[in-house]
Structure 1
């Protein structure tokens, strides 16, 4: 019997999780990642609900729990930095919060011996035919695969090539923000501080490294256009949004330009009429991002990979039937998470905190 060859684009969470399950089920799996190595970005991610069942099935739940940030509560402060309230740990950390880099490393480690990882490359063209998909790469040689999966994030290359332009899939929720780390001059210890304004928010926390302070500067935006712009333009937009703000704003804006881990992203959802096209399917943020404001991104990625793999295993080689079953089972769950993401984003600068979410997408 011929082994089914699959290509997964993206080596963050959804991609390696799917690779784990597909290899277990007898597939020959290749994962391509445009970054030169495992990504070390991202601050902390949350796990909720059925995601624990997925981690348990993968045999890594105890190890993941070992990286619990054990975050405490978050102090709310006014424009002058005076305490005005407090949020419990659950508002940010969910049932379990873990540094994203640790999750990525664990998933890579448990798959590295069985899955072919190709870093520093990306898909440049996809051509489907009756028996498979011809995949062209930016660096590597053209190859043939039976199935291709896009697990490559909100700005998925697979989705753009096989489903259409980003603009047709993205729904902007009115927020953008910069993230980075700096010296922990506030002396926070497994705790956070939030200063919430009319159209801006400053969230600071220290979890793993007591010497470092993680910074999130969020503000209202009309579109996600800044996501694809150079860093200096993103910084310029952040400075304009926080100009004249008090408390820590001036110091943080100065630290932003010196940060080596600067990150910028808009709060968007991905909406598609279908998650598959022929022999190509999407999962995680690439197919149905619920936005960081949902707090469900990582859990949804794991559950999506698990659901897709089970559908393929049950379909006896009929990928079309598997993709249909995967979508039918998962869409209600995704719809709930996306509704939560929209509701939370709507309160961001409307009186609520809007920040009961993952610390990064």
Structure 2
């Protein structure tokens, strides 16, 4: 079968690898002139690391192992702890935080030879009857396929062609994030620090080699280019031109371990912004012999921490569905139903978390930390969103 994949992100590359291994002819189109290997940190939960192993990707050197998430208040006092090591042991795969570029490079190395076509922007998809699907490109060329997969991210052209203009909506927050070299004990450790306060949220992840991936979550309005600089969030309080100056003004009184040193070491060129957006939940992700994977189907804010793992889940289930019996369109709808059931809870959690930058006042967070079995709760979230960890393929491989 001839498969055309639009978008060489994580989901697109994973689908290309698995479908090529199954003997299909793969054409993977990417509108950028190269596979994106820049970017910041990514979290790999046990389903993500397990699926990378299934893809033949070597985990050594991919990122730093994370054994816990330590929830802290701005002064460093403890709020709650999630024991990631227990979750990893239960599923036989580690939790890693690494650089986006390193993951992309290793996936690209596994692509079938000659499959990747760069600087090719999709402009049209047409399918009629039982004939092949025609895919058109901006340079005037076209190709045909038995199966088309839209893996082209949160502003997916394929999604728009299937369902019309359906832009993701802003949730009112953004993540201002980056990777900074930070010598010292924290950068060499195996704990994520999630720090909470009235001013916002800061999350710090060691990623190996003395580098720390950090993220500050703050209010955001469409068009903002700088983070709010101080309590009040008015334009007059912003430091013009300097994201780091704004972050220092806002979080400069926080004393949680590693945070003062991070604010000192950060540079403006380290900082990028990721507005929190979410897609409308769809009843299906495709039509006929066209379907979606990854952010094209279900973009959620980075606070959920599942974007990469969920893209790999999509590609894994899709590749198994394609190998099943029955007509192809029916198998694609079975894939979509299997995954929609799993990601729906993740989307609902993202919407709930997106309502406020600080999800609850400190006294309540402290009480929740005492009463809620945080590790079990988080493990359940990971497991419930995963077909892979549950070996949940019964509905797609019949």
Please give the TM-score of this superposition, normalised by the length of structure 2.
0.71
Residue 31 in 1 paired to residue 21 in 2? no
Provide the rounded CA distance (Å) in 2 between the counterparts of 1:153 and 1:185: 35
Q: What are the superposed Cα offsets for residues 105-154 of structure 1, whole Å, 9 maximum, x if unpaired?
A: 222212242x5112233212223333223322234722223322111222
State which drifts further: 147-156 or 88-97: 88-97
Aligned-residue offset at 1:265: 3.2
Mark the CA change 1:238 to 1:270 in structure 2 (over 3 Å): closer, same or farther: farther
Aligned ranges for residues 1-361 of structure 1 at < 5 Å?
Answer: 4-40=1-37, 41-49=39-47, 51=48, 54-60=51-57, 63-64=58-59, 67-71=62-66, 73=68, 82-85=75-78, 88=81, 90=83, 95=88, 96-99=95-98, 100-113=100-113, 116-130=115-129, 131-139=131-139, 141-167=141-167, 170-184=168-182, 188=186, 189-190=188-189, 191-198=191-198, 200-210=200-210, 212-221=211-220, 225-226=222-223, 233-235=224-226, 240=238, 244-247=250-253, 252=263, 255=266, 257-259=268-270, 262-316=272-326, 318-346=327-355, 348-351=357-360, 352=365
Q: What are the superposed Cα offsets for residues 249-285 of structure 1, whole Å, 9 maximum, x if unpaired?
A: 99859945333x6342324245223200233210112
Mark the CA change 1:253 to 1:184 in structure 2 (over 3 Å): closer, same or farther: closer
Residue aligned with 2:340, SS: helix
The question of whether the paired residues in 1 share the 8 Å contact of 2:72 and 2:193 is answered with yes
Residue aligned with 2:208, SS: coil
Residue ranges of structure 1 left out of the alignment (5+ in a row): 227-232
- What is the CA RMSD across the aligned residues, in angstroms? 3.6
Aligned-residue offset at 1:9: 1.6
Q: What are the superposed Cα offsets for residues 265-307 of structure 1, whole Å, 9 maximum, x if unpaired?
A: 3242452232002332101121123443333222221121111
Provide the rounded CA distance (Å) in 2 between the counterparts of 1:203 and 1:15: 28
Residue aligned with 1:180, SS: strand
Count of aligned positions? 336
Q: What are the superposed Cα offsets for residues 198-229 of structure 1, whole Å, 9 maximum, x if unpaired?
A: 3522233432230x33331211346xx34xxx
The question of whether the paired residues in 1 share the 8 Å contact of 2:16 and 2:112 is answered with no
Question: Larger Rg: 1 or 2?
Answer: 2
Provide the rounded CA distance (Å) in 2 between the counterparts of 1:199 and 1:32: 42
The question of whether the paired residues in 2 share the 8 Å contact of 1:269 and 1:291 is answered with no
Mark the CA change 1:104 to 1:90 in structure 2 (over 3 Å): closer, same or farther: farther
The question of whether the paired residues in 1 share the 8 Å contact of 2:277 and 2:300 is answered with no
